[in-house]
Chain A
Amino acid sequence: MTHEGSDGLIVNAEVRRGGFMLAVSLAAAPGQVVAMLGPNGAGKSTLLSAVAGLTPISAGRITLAGQVMDDASTGAFVESAGRPVGFVFQNYRLFPHLNVADNVAFSPRARGMGRQAATSAAGHWLDRLGLTDLADRKPGQLSGGQAQRVALARALAGQPALLLLDEPLSALDAGTRLDVRTELKRHLAEFAGPCLLVTHDPLEALVLADRLLVLEDGRIVQEGTPADVARRPGTEYVAKLVGLNLYAGRADGPGVTLTGGGSLVIPDRGQHGDVLVAVRPSAVVVSSQRPLASSARNAWPARVVGLTLLADRVRLFLQGQPSALVDVTPAAVAELSLGPGSQVWLTVKATDLEVYTHADSTPV
Chain B
Amino acid sequence: MVTPAAPSHLTARERARRAARGGASRSVPAPLLVPALIAVGFLVLPLAGLLIRAPWSSLGAALSGSDATQALVLSLWTASATTVISLVIGVPLAWVLARSSFPGQRLLRALVTLPLVLPPVVGGVALLLAFGRTGFVGRYLDSWFGLTIPFTSIAVVMAETFVAMPFLIITVEGALRSADQGFEEAAATLGAKRMTVFRRVTVPMVAPSLGAGAVLCWARALGEFGATITFAGSFPGQTETMPIAVYYALENDPDAAIALSLVLLIVSVVVLVSLRGRWLRGGIAP
CA distance A154 to B191 in the complex (A): 11
Q: Kindly state the separation between the CA atoms of A110 and B187 in the bound complex, as whole angstroms.
A: 9
Assess A86 versus B189: contact at CB under 8 Å? Given A93-B182, A95-B183.
Answer: yes
Asked if B190 and A110 sit within 8 Å, CB to CB, the answer is yes
Shortest C-beta distance, A46 to chain B (Å), equals 13
Q: Does B188 contact A (CB under 8 A)?
A: yes
Specify which chain B residues have a CB less than 8 angstroms from the CB of A93 in the assembled complex: 182-183, 185-186
Q: Which of B183, B190, B201 has the most CB of A within 10 A?
A: B190
Nearest-Cβ distance from residue A260 to partner chain B, whole angstroms: 43
The number of residue pairs between A and B whose CB atoms lie closer than 8 Å in the complex comes to 64
Name the interface residues of A152-190: CB closer than 8 Å to any CB of B: 154-155, 158, 164
Partner of A52, one of B183, B187, B189, B200: B189
Grouping DSSP codes into helix (H, G, I), strand (E, B) and loop, the B interface class, with mixed when no group exceeds half, is helix
Q: How far is the CA of A322 from the CA of B191 in the complex (A)?
A: 55
Q: Which residues of A contact B200 (CB under 8 A)?
A: 106, 109-110
Chain B residue with the shortest CB-CB distance to A112:
B191
Across-interface contacts of B194 in A (CB, < 8 A): 81
Interface check A298, CB cutoff 8 A: no
Cβ-defined contact, A158 with B190, below 8 A? yes
A155: chain B residues within 8 A (beta carbon) = 190
Q: Are A97 and B189 in contact (CB under 8 A)?
A: no
* Contact present for A81 and B205 (CB under 8 Å): no
Known: A89-B182, A95-B183. A106 touches B188 (CB 8 A): no
CB-defined contacts of A91 to chain B, threshold 8 Å: 182
Query: How far, in Å, is A126 (CB) from chain B's closest CB?
Result: 16
Interface size bucket, B side? 10 to 19
Interface pair B193/A81, CB less than 8 Å apart: yes
Bound-state Cα–Cα, A97 to B183, Å = 11
Partner of B188, one of A81, A96, A109: A81
B185 touches A80 (CB 8 A): yes
A87 in the interface (beta carbon within 8 A)? yes
Q: Tell whether A106 pairs with B192 under 8 Å between CB atoms, given A95-B201, A96-B205, A97-B204.
A: yes
Within 8 A of A (CB), among B175-222: 182-183, 185-194, 196, 200-201, 204-205, 207
| Residue of B whose beta carbon sits closest to that of A94 | B186
Contact partner of B190 (CB less than 8 A), chosen from A53, A96, A106, is A106
A85 at the interface (CB under 8 A from B): yes
* Bound-state Cα–Cα, A109 to B194, Å: 14
Contact: A54 with B189, CB < 8 Å?
yes
Assess the B191–A97 pair: CB atoms within 8 A. Answer: no
Closest residue to A92 on the B side, CB-wise?
Answer: B186
Report which of B183, B191, B205 forms a contact with A110, defined as CB distance below 8 A: B191
Q: Does A107 contact B (CB under 8 A)?
A: yes
Q: Taking A93-B182, A95-B183 as contacts, is the C-beta distance between A87 and B205 under 8 angstroms?
A: no
Chain A residues at the B interface, C-beta cutoff of 8 Å: 52-54, 79-83, 85-87, 89, 91, 93, 95-98, 106-107, 109-111, 154-155, 158, 164
Additional A-B contacts beyond A81-B191, A86-B190, A96-B183 (7; CB < 8 A): A80-B185, A82-B191, A87-B189, A95-B186, A95-B205, A106-B200, A110-B200
A-B contact pairs, 7 of them (CB 8 A): A53-B188, A80-B185, A83-B189, A89-B186, A98-B204, A109-B200, A110-B196
Closest 5 CB pairs of A and B: A80-B188, A110-B192, A107-B190, A93-B186, A87-B189
